[in-house]
């Protein structure tokens, strides 16, 4: 009985592109049988997510990169692992989950290749460069969205900093930046390493194209560093405002507690020392006189607190 092949593939006259969404042990075994890849590389393709790296094997390169993915439901960013097996007559891509920038491009390229009966790319390295470029461009709108989120957070943090949703929004943005940076970390180093290794397999390919990707990645990394500094400054300001407002509330609470305690003390002393018969509560004149004295004491305390700048 023939074993089921679950690998999606685009074949041309001289090379092929295989793409896998969320690989399992089944796909790993199929790759092992067909391409005889290193066992460690096939293990890295499977969960959990691995760190970015580039390894030269016998006859091919194995590369791991991480890219950010935005979940519109939770409005959070998380890293997606993208694996590449790069050979003279094949390119194999694998993503840790369904990743639309590659999956959609694969489906489009498959249709175009079927219509034209030929690939738009002369070699696997040209296709790899196109994929890397598309992934780089995929990250840019996400970074702009983060910038807009930061601007919005900066505007609302001073107006409603004590609201739970505002605090959570700042924390969400900060977490997204951290996860974005985690995904893009080591990109520059890995692609530079790729630029040095690729000549052995594709001597006709222009290395300047990969250098352009390195520059774009460096620009994106600098942008993310600026975002991190900005959101941390906003969070520090938010915490300072929270502390300031909390202190003000405690000051007002303490002042009113003091006034109430003093008022109760005066009333108790007056009733016990001067009017044990409680006639002060019955006689309107006595009641008004005592109320005026009590009010004067309260106003005097308020003036005292104001002059001391305690309120």
* Rounded-to-integer distance, Cα 4 and Cα 116, Å: 28
> Would you say 198 and 91 are in contact if contact means Cβ atoms under 8 Å apart?
no
Going by DSSP bridges, is the β-strand pair 76-87/60-71 parallel, antiparallel, or unpaired? Answer: antiparallel
Q: What is the pLDDT tens value at each position of the chain, 311 positions in all?
A: 345 567 899 998 889 999 999 999 999 999 999 999 999 999 999 999 999 999 999 999 999 999 999 999 999 999 999 999 999 999 999 999 999 999 999 999 999 888 777 778 989 999 999 999 999 999 999 999 999 999 999 888 877 655 778 889 999 999 999 999 999 999 999 999 999 999 899 998 988 889 899 999 999 999 999 999 999 999 998 888 888 777 777 777 777 777 777 777 766 766 665 555 555 556 676 667 667 777 777 777 777 767 766 55
The two most distant CA atoms of the chain are separated, in Å, by 113
pTM above 0.85, yes or no: no
> Would you say 227 and 177 are in contact if contact means Cβ atoms under 8 Å apart?
yes
* E strand spans, the chain: 8-11, 16-21, 53-57, 60-71, 76-87, 90-95
The three-state secondary structure class of 117 is: coil
Q: Helix 207-273 crosses helix 187-201 at what angle (to 10 degrees)?
A: 170
Angle formed at CA 90 by CA 84 and CA 94, multiple of 5 degrees: 30
What per-residue confidence (pLDDT) applies to 98?
94
* Rounded-to-integer distance, Cα 21 and Cα 241, Å: 47
Nearest Cα neighbor of 92 from 163, 35, 149, 46 is: 35
Residues near 173 by beta carbon (within 8 Å), at least 6 away in sequence:
146, 149, 150, 153, 231
């Amino acid at each position: 009985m023939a074993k089921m092949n679950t690998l999606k593939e685009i074949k041309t006259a001289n090379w092929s592109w295989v793409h896998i969404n969320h690989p399992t042990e089944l796909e790993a075994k199929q790759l092992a049988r067909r391409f005889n890849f290193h066992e460690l590389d096939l293990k890295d393709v499977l969960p959990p997510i691995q760190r970015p790296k580039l390894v030269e094997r016998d006859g091919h390169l194995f590369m791991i990169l991480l890219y950010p993915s935005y979940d519109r439901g939770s409005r959070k960013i998380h890293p997606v692992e993208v694996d590449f097996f790069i050979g003279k007559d094949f390119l194999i891509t694998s993503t840790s989950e369904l990743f639309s920038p590659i999956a959609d491009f694969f489906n489009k390229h498959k249709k175009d290749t079927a219509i034209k009966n030929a690939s738009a790319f002369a070699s696997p390295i040209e296709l790899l460069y196109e994929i890397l470029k598309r992934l780089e461009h995929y990250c840019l709108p996400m970074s702009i969205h983060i910038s807009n989120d930061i601007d919005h957070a900066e505007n609302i943090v001073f107006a409603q900093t004590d609201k739970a949703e505002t605090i959570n929004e700042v924390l969400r943005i900060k977490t997204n930046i951290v996860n974005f940076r985690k995904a893009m970390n080591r990109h520059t180093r890995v692609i530079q390493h790729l630029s040095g290794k690729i000549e052995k397999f594709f001597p006709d390919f222009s290395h300047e194209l990969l250098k352009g990707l390195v520059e774009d990645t460096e620009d994106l990394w600098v942008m993310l560093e600026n975002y991190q500094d900005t959101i941390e400054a906003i969070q520090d300001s938010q915490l300072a405002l929270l502390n300031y407002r909390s202190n003000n509330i405690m000051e007002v609470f303490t002042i009113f507690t003091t006034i109430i305690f003093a008022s109760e003390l005066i009333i108790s002393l007056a009733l016990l020392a001067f009017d044990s018969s409680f006639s002060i509560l019955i006689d309107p004149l006595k009641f008004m006189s005592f109320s005026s004295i009590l009010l004067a004491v309260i106003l005097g305390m308020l003036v005292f607190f104001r002059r001391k700048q305690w309120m």
